[in-house]
Every structure is written in structure tokens, then in C-alpha cells.
Amino acid sequence: MPSWNADQYLKFAAERTRPARDLLARVLVDRPARVIDLGCGPGNSTEILSERWPESGINGLDSSSAMIVAARRDYPQGDWAVGDISVWAADATHQFDIVFANAALHWVPDHEQLFPRIFARVAPGGALAVQVPYNLDAPAQTAMRDLAATPAWACLFPPDGVRGWHVHQPGFYYDCLAPLAADIDIWETEYVQVMESADAIVEWYKGTGLRPFLDALPSDADRESFLADYRERIRDSYPPQADGRVLFPFRRLFLVAYH
Ligand SMILES: C[S@@+](CC[C@H](N)C(=O)[O-])C[C@H]1O[C@@H](n2cnc3c(N)ncnc32)[C@H](O)[C@@H]1O
């Protein structure tokens, strides 16, 4: 489990919350009584659920106690819990009208089993709404894996690699959920994020995708050195625009499945 740092994550709060807003805009359910935000992080995605449905009972669940501490700090009125999504999905006690998971489920393995289980916790008339990053082939993503596999670094990582992301093609999710759902909406969006420099992309991934690599390294000196090598590797893939900023394309996969 990567060690999450809410402040590092929230350095890009606007860019990270935008897909949650875009996902929520496509959820066509009025007045849900019970809503849950799985992998709620520091509460930024949960907050937009509360704005949309102020009358609803809204829960935030996250396996990182650091993230839940930050959520409680920033939104003390919220209903927060530390817990694992896989465990929650396997517990069929009660259902929710909206199960929302923005930028979270790619950290959870075995989607073939997980998605039907999560969908079973959606009440009739409700919806499951999910967004996952869909950019494993982007240079900033391949660079961290390729770097970790070089002889200089491979000896410092576990032989079976670090914890990776779990993301499948749209057809996989359609086949998982179509036999269960009344209707499914699936789409992709590529955000072209404007960053101050290629270094800002390193800062971005220090809050998410680089965490498993940094956590696996034995010392702070190794972490700094790995980040320096990574920075060097991605620089050419994200050249400066005329004003010095860089464009950081970021593709994401969205789905809303109605019960
Ligand atoms: C990238 S953050 C997303 C935060 C927020 N939902 C947002 O939209 O910005 C991913 C979150 O998923 C949580 N997470 C990862 N695996 C989890 C699991 N198995 N169970 C619960 N939470 C998990 C992490 O702790 C982290 O806070």
C-alpha cells in the first residue's frame, strides 16, 4: 500500500478534482438517500458530492489513515471511515444509491471480481460512477517502469516489481457490468494539463504513481536519486512551449452503470 501524503496530493487539487466533477455531471440520479465515495482521499471528491446532494447521507471511505485525517481536518462535518474497498465490496449488508470512485479503483486488484461486487452494493434506481487513469502508455508512466527495470535500479526493487495500477480496456468493464446493469455510459477524456515545467510532472506523480516506487526504495538518498533520474528521462517527452510551460496530456476512462 503506497504511503499517501494529502498535502502532496492536493498540490494539484484543481486538476485532480476536475475529472470527479466531469464524472458527477453525467450521473443522472436525483435525490439519492445514501452516497459513498470509495477511495475518497483527502475529501476533495466527496465535497463535490455534498455540494450536488446536500440532503443526502454521504460517506467517505479510504484505506489511508493519513488521507482520512486530512479529510476530517478540511471537512469536519463529513462522515469518514478508514477501510479497504475490497473488504467493503465483499460486505453485502446494505446498499447505496450512489457508489462513486474517482481515481481510486486502479489501486485495487482483480477488477473481474471487484466490479460486480461493488455493483451489487448499488441500490435499484442508483448508479455506480467510476473514473480511472487510462494512460499507462504515456511517457511519464513508461519512464518510471523502464527506469526501475534498469540494472542500476532493479536490484533495489522487489523481484516481482512494485505495486502497479489495475486498469482495463472499456470492453472489459462493459462485459463485467452489462449483464447486471440497466444502462451503461462509458467514455474517455484526454485532459491536456498545463504544467509550469517538466519538474511539475514529477511533483504530480510524487503524489500518486511514483509512490509505490519511492516507498520501495531503502533510503531518502535513493529516493532523491531515483527522482533525479526520472526527471531526466521525462524531460524530452514534455518539451517547453513558447512560454516555458509544458503540456501534460492525461487520458482517463469513465463509466456510469445504472442499476
Ligand atoms: C488518487 S487518490 C483519489 C482521491 C479522491 N477520490 C480524488 O478524486 O481526488 C486514491 C485514493 O484511493 C485510496 N485507496 C487506494 N487503494 C485503496 C483500497 N484498497 N481501499 C480504500 N482506499 C484505497 C488511497 O488511499 C487514496 O487516497
How much is the pLDDT for 2?
62
Q: Is the CB of 20 under 6 A from ligand 1?
A: yes
Spans in the chain with pLDDT lower than 70: 1-2
C-alpha cell at 102: 474517482
What's the whole-model pTM score?
0.94
Q: Is the CB of 97 under 6 A from ligand 1?
A: no
Q: Is the CB of 99 under 6 A from ligand 1?
A: no
Ramachandran region of residue 244, left (φ > 0), alpha (ψ -120 to 50) or beta?
A: left
Q: Is the CB of 15 under 6 A from ligand 1?
A: no
Substitution candidate for ligand 1 out of 47, 67, 87 with most atoms within 8 A of CB:
67
Q: Whose CA is nearest to atom 15 of ligand 1?
A: 107
How much is the pLDDT for 1?
55
Is the domain spanning 6-258 CATH 3.40.50.150? The answer is yes
Q: Is the CB of 43 under 6 A from ligand 1?
A: no
Substitution candidate for ligand 1 out of 35, 85, 106 with most atoms within 8 A of CB:
85
Cell 502497479 belongs to residue: 164
122-133 vs 246-258, strand pairing mode? antiparallel
Closest CA to 117 of 135, 93, 143: 93
Q: How far is CA 216 from CA 159, 180, 213, in A?
A: 11, 39, 5
* Other C-beta atoms lying within 10 Å of the C-beta of residue 68: 24
Instruction: Compute the distance between CA of residue 232 and CA of residue 229 in angstroms, rounded to an integer.
Output: 5
Q: Whose CA is nearest to atom 14 of ligand 1?
A: 39
Per-domain residue ranges of the chain: 6-258
Q: Is 121 helix (H, G, I), strand (E, B) or coil?
A: coil
Give the Å distance between the CA of 62 and the centre of ligand 1.
Answer: 6
Q: Is the CB of 84 under 6 A from ligand 1?
A: yes
Q: Whose CA is nearest to atom 6 of ligand 1?
A: 40
